[in-house]
Amino acid sequence: MRLAFLLYKYFPYGGMQRDFRRFVEEIQKLGHICRVYYIEWQGEEIPGVELRRVAVSARTNHLRNERFTEWVQRDLSNDPVDGVVGFNKMPGLDVYYAADSCYLDKAINERGSLYRLGGRFRHFAAYEAAVFGRDSSTDVLLISATEKAKFLHCYKTPESRLHMLPPGISRDRCAGDDAPVRRLAMRQSLAVAEGEHVQLFVGSGFIKKGLDRAIRALAHATQEQPHQPMRLLVVGQDKERRFRRLARKLGVAAQVQFLGGRDDVADLLLGADVLVHPALDEAAGIVLLEALVAGLPVITTDVCGYAHHIAAAKAGMVMRSPFRQADLDAAVMRSLDGVYRSQCRETGLVYARVTDLYSMHSTGAKLIEQLVQRKRGIAGE
């Protein structure tokens, strides 16, 4: 089959983008031809994939999205494919991978009534309804039971179109026999002092992932334990200025280290002492499970789709909503206890051995294949 994959922007450090790449690679393994439509692309191309850049621009994101959709639909009418798979919500999809949370739920519960009068709301609500509305025929690959419940509440989407996937952790994130050596090497490369407590923050989208909360927790811990050396490593591709300013204001600028986007996250997970991920909104949060399988204790919020795995594994602390900074401060203080961290590591690694946290992309690729074949009446192998 010939399949088209649609996303607005690709860069190598985003969770959704990494999933997109692995889905395409798994589809290729099944013998199908892949074409990708995009507006922006950063990083290496995917071997064997036809890339078609959609050269559109606009003064607003939602107008740009509409022009993207129109451009792609014209191109597909001239050069058809067997199925269309989307990684952003938009009309005309056969299959949508739901990496993002429910927009309508947030617009109703987290925004004022004036927000819902604007063009931005009308666009994103309409594009979400084009996927989840009862009149749509799009099948949806879901990764969060929490978000599934929100979509069902907002759109009454038929259950037959909603398909839950297991997580998809890459095996290179798992702690192996060489984990102690890799941990030491990473800490030496970062000039980590003996006994220094290293907190790790991973995520492109610093506001959404709660970086300001993590910096405030570091400042609190530093004030409470002034003789305990500690630092916060920030990994991700985003604007840093406002967060550097906050760190200076709180007196911890020298302890907050911005590393940018990194390809060695697996080693950083081994080198750190705790992952701090106090997200405001997170449909899944793959880094939570990457930390778990690496044996790294996790501090996170219950809004993350994968937070329940951390709780079930007893691999860290999950803070309940509504968020309180004092809860995060206390959690970071508790993570200074080496015995507690060792317990989290042991129970997390046991959970990782007995739970399927790895098969999302192979399972999802086969499901995409089946769904498109069914829609188009194509006989399978």
Kindly report the number of other CB atoms within 10 A of residue 222's CB atom: 18
Query: For residue 83, what are the β-bridge partners?
Result: 3
Kindly report the number of other CB atoms within 10 A of residue 290's CB atom: 25
Q: How far is CA 20 from CA 97, 121, 334, in A?
A: 9, 26, 36
- Residue 230 has φ and ψ, to the nearest 5°, of -155, 155
Dihedral angle sign, alpha carbons of residues 311, 289, 132, 134: negative
306-335 burial, b for 16+ CB within 10 Å, e for fewer? bbebbeebebbbbbeeebeeebbbbbbeeb
Q: What is the DSSP string of 142-195?
A: ES-HHHHHHHHHHH---GGGEEE------GGGS--TTHHHHHHHHHHHTTPPTT
Question: Would you mind telling me the total number of residues written for the chain in this entry?
Answer: 381
According to the model, what pLDDT value does residue 379 have? 66
Find out whether 206 and 243 touch, Cβ atoms under 8 Å. Answer: yes
Query: For residue 51, what are the β-bridge partners?
Result: 36
Closest by CA to 15, choosing from 259, 220, 290, is 290
Closest by CA to 250, choosing from 229, 279, 222, is 222
CATH class (in words) of the domain with range 171-354:
alpha beta
Two tokens at 311? 């709780």
Helix (H) or strand (E) holding 75: helix 61-78
According to the model, what pLDDT value does residue 378 have? 76
Q: Tell me, which fold does domain 2-166+359-376 have in CATH?
A: Rossmann fold (3.40.50)
Task: Give the pTM.
Answer: 0.91
Farthest CA pair distance, the chain: 68
- Distance, in Å, from the CA atom of 243 to the CA atom of 120, rounded to the nearest integer, reads 27
Q: How far is CA 213 from CA 208, 222, 249, 316, 327, in A?
A: 11, 14, 14, 17, 11
- Residue 52, C-beta contacts closer than 8 angstroms, at least 6 positions apart: 35, 36, 37, 38, 75
- Residue 65 has φ and ψ, to the nearest 5°, of -60, -40
According to the model, what pLDDT value does residue 344 have? 98
Q: Compute mean pLDDT per 10 residues along the chain, 381 residues long, and list them.
A: 98 94 98 98 97 97 97 98 98 97 96 94 98 97 95 98 96 93 98 97 96 98 98 97 98 98 95 98 94 98 96 98 97 98 98 97 98 86 52
State the span(s) of the chain assigned CATH 3.40.50.2000.
2-166+359-376, 171-354
Closest by CA to 74, choosing from 55, 57, 89, is 55
Closest by CA to 327, choosing from 217, 202, 212, is 217
- Distance, in Å, from the CA atom of 104 to the CA atom of 129, rounded to the nearest integer, reads 9
- Residue 35, C-beta contacts closer than 8 angstroms, at least 6 positions apart: 2, 3, 4, 5, 49, 50, 51, 52, 81
Closest by CA to 15, choosing from 320, 309, 344, 304, is 304
Q: How far is CA 60 from CA 49, 119, 256, in A?
A: 29, 10, 33
Contacts made by residues 375-379, CB under 8 angstroms, sequence distance 24+? 375/83, 375/94, 375/137, 376/82, 376/83, 378/1, 378/82
Query: For residue 230, what are the β-bridge partners?
Result: 197
- Residue 206, C-beta contacts closer than 8 angstroms, at least 6 positions apart: 212, 234, 236, 238, 239, 240, 243
